Amino acid sequence: MENVINNYTKSPLPVVVEGMTSVSALINSVLSGKNTRRILQVLVSNEAIKSKRRETAFLRAKAGVLGYCFSVVPVGEIDGLAEGKTHGGIIALCTERHLPALVAENLPELGFFVLLEGIEDPFNFGYTVRSLYAAGADGIVLGRRNWMSAASTVIRASAGTTELIDMYEEDPVKAVNIFKSRGYRIISAGIRDSVSLYEADLRLPLLLIIGGEKRGISRRLLELSDQIVRIDYGRKFMGSLTTSAAAAVFAFEIMRRGR
């Protein structure tokens, strides 16, 4: 098989996935069929092949299933490709992921989805996805321009959960109308004309809209919402939570109510 590391300067550049947690999430998502990425190569350092025998045995075995090149290389080669230093001697090179459009007929009857709008930082985006995945969200809807173009950073920040959760790319207004057509309630995180999260109707099916700290949620989406819901603070505080913190508070309260 062609050694991808020798050709990574070609266009388009492969996405670099760093660390065993993220690489295993990538492999499992590709095996499940929910991820369109193609894994080109997995690189393991000389040190990791000795110290992480169980993990590297898994990676070597899946190479035969998925057809990627498994290579043992000096750690310096991995350092040269990775963005961070927490890869632990394991990275994968893969193609871009193509997100499908939202299809009304495929939405579950009692689903919980989240539409993210206006997040300006890829780390915040990754942390947000991690919280939503942990809380059991069924999927995430993103606009046409989203942080999946910074996949290496996002995958690392999300601990691989961006590869495991269902994601859709859709015009936000169209997406809201699709959810409405399937009987979903639409709630937006906000302050003006809001009710407390702890008094809001969070019954499923539900679409939660969360905006970035700076730009927030667009006026049109707020107009389409059934309810604006706020997070009550423990003291007087005029600032906003990070998107990842707000998403965690909302998502775990929705999870708690559903139990």
Same structural domain, 115 and 225? yes
Is 19 part of a structural domain of the chain? yes
- The two most distant CA atoms of the chain are separated, in Å, by 61
Strand locations in 8-135 (E) = 15-18, 39-45, 69-73, 90-94, 112-117
Structure tokens at 160: 């691989």
Same structural domain, 54 and 114? no
Quick one: DSSP state of residue 165?
S
Distance CA 253, CA 198 (A): 8
Closest to 100 measured CA to CA, from 139, 128, 134: 139
Is 186 part of a structural domain of the chain? yes
Tens digit of each residue's pLDDT, the chain (259 residues): 445 555 655 557 899 999 999 999 999 999 999 899 999 999 999 999 999 999 999 999 999 999 999 999 999 999 999 987 889 999 999 999 999 999 999 999 999 999 999 898 999 999 999 999 999 999 999 998 767 778 899 999 999 999 999 999 999 999 999 999 999 999 999 999 999 999 999 999 999 999 988 778 999 999 999 999 999 999 999 888 999 999 999 999 999 998 6
Non-local (6+) Cβ contacts of 135 within 8 A are 248, 251, 252, 254, 255
What's the CATH code of the domain at 119? 3.40.1280.10
Report the Cα 101 to chain-centroid distance in Å. Answer: 16
Same structural domain, 128 and 85? no
Closest to 95 measured CA to CA, from 72, 75, 119, 67: 67
Same structural domain, 132 and 224? yes
Residues in the chain: 259
Same structural domain, 78 and 27? yes
- Parent domain of 186: 104-258
Same structural domain, 110 and 158? yes
Same structural domain, 8 and 86? yes
Report the Cα 8 to chain-centroid distance in Å. Answer: 24
Domain count, the chain: 2
Distance CA 104, CA 120 (A): 28
Asked whether the beta carbons of 75 and 45 are under 8 A apart, the reply is yes
Report the Cα 168 to chain-centroid distance in Å. Answer: 11
Is 208 part of a structural domain of the chain? yes
pTM of the model: 0.91
Distance CA 186, CA 201 (A): 10
Same structural domain, 245 and 125? yes
3-state class percentages of the chain: helix first, strand second, coil last, to nearest 5: 40, 20, 40
Question: What is the DSSP pairing of strand 90-94 with strand 15-18?
Answer: antiparallel
